Structure 1
């Protein structure tokens, strides 16, 4: 009887997500995350470090949602400006964005037309090459690929220093956009690191790597674990303070650039 009851009970509707393109008065075209949430009771517009978000209840039409955004256009513009000022990193805009964060610096960015979409170094500056038809998703993928390549290059310089003193290497390392953590080590010794680490201080990035590597020795945060960390990174307290001061800025900056 209970199995029949489960079959007859309608499943709760899932949250649906897509994007809405919206033009601001200054000529920018932003992407608003549009979320249809079965728990929502009213249309709501919000802005945080991830960008703008439009929440719709199940029965609200897409037209009513777009009208709501237009009616709150001034408020939306003000909130976006406030969040842009928080970290100095604006959303990626083709041909407009003039600098990008990397390793604690803002590097000049030039735009060039090319056959392929790719971001690369040109001396001490960056160049984004892309076909004229390349859209924002392709540009963001190129930016993410560039950041991950730079982060892996940093790991390649640091890892040989630490591996000889560890029981074994991580089974794999992947970079993710993490909401609150900077790194984690799974039971199978797979390591995850926040991609925004490559935007900030290299010393702080290296501390996170050391922290997670030391979990290969001690899975907890016992005094023995912190002795392992301090043996490899004596200034770990200063690097942890860095994240208290700059962490939100790094994470929000990456999310704004990649629209994630």
Structure 2
């Protein structure tokens, strides 16, 4: 009996970017992810790009065949998606999203790569020959500093009504959630929040802080949220509409996540 030899099960998630030709000759980049938790081959398309998820026992040949069999579907899905957010281009990108608006960017030659913010513009300092990863990393650091400054301004006004303060704060890219709070008080917020409306960002902070009182989404939990943020329904609706674009924007600019 002959058959395909199963690939060894990976211990961690493995990612690689591959080029794939559509029927009309266009070349698209696909992130191929071998995920030990996956049960089947799957293609997803969103504003962050195309992702092919491969379970641990599927061979590379089977993954390629699966992708080829979905060539027409993929072209249709990309057409429905529309244009992906523009990436960061040194000396070309004219504006960057921050706190719900597009802020003008001024590019400057410098001895080190760093980003600063004034009242009406973002100053992006780059060195000659700086690689893309360094430039994107500087932007990510800038966004994290801005997000931490926002949280630092808002947090003190809510501490009096909490059983304790968060034990630590992490800002990272999150695939679906906007924030989380662990039982030991570790607070995680999506870095993409700093790109959007500040009031919506503050709502997410309030939401997660209320989990220090109730580690659930019970009626009592929502009572605590409403006491601190009466407009929480409006902000939640924001994430179901305008907020959907924030995560792919951050990904395109910083190649994060």
Please tell me the TM-score bracket, short chain as reference: 0.7 to 0.9
| 2:205 corresponding residue in structure 1 | 209
Does the 8 A contact of 1:40 with 1:58 survive in 2? no
- Equivalent position SS for 1:90: coil
Q: Deviations over 1:208-228 (max 9, x none)?
A: 100111111111111111111
User: What RMSD, in angstroms, separates the aligned Cα atoms of the two structures?
Assistant: 3.5
Deviation at 1:231, TM superposition (A): 1.0
| 1:176 corresponding residue in structure 2 | 172
- Equivalent position SS for 1:165: coil
Q: For 2:220 and 2:80, how far apart are their aligned partners in 1?
A: 45
What is the 5 A alignment of 1:49-198? 49-53=47-51, 58-59=59-60, 82-84=82-84, 89-198=85-194
Which consecutive residues of structure 1, in runs of 5 or more, have no partner in the other structure?
Answer: 1-8, 23-29
Residue 251 in structure 1 maps to residue 244 in structure 2 = no
Question: For the structure 1 residues 52 and 120, does the alpha-carbon distance in structure 2 shift closer, same or farther, using more than 3 Å as the test?
Answer: farther
Deviation at 1:81, TM superposition (A): 8.7
Q: For 1:141 and 1:205, how far apart are their aligned partners in 2?
A: 22
Question: For the structure 1 residues 179 and 45, does the alpha-carbon distance in structure 2 shift closer, same or farther, using more than 3 Å as the test?
Answer: closer
Q: For 2:173 and 2:238, how far apart are their aligned partners in 1?
A: 19
Question: For the structure 1 residues 53 and 179, does the alpha-carbon distance in structure 2 shift closer, same or farther, using more than 3 Å as the test?
Answer: closer
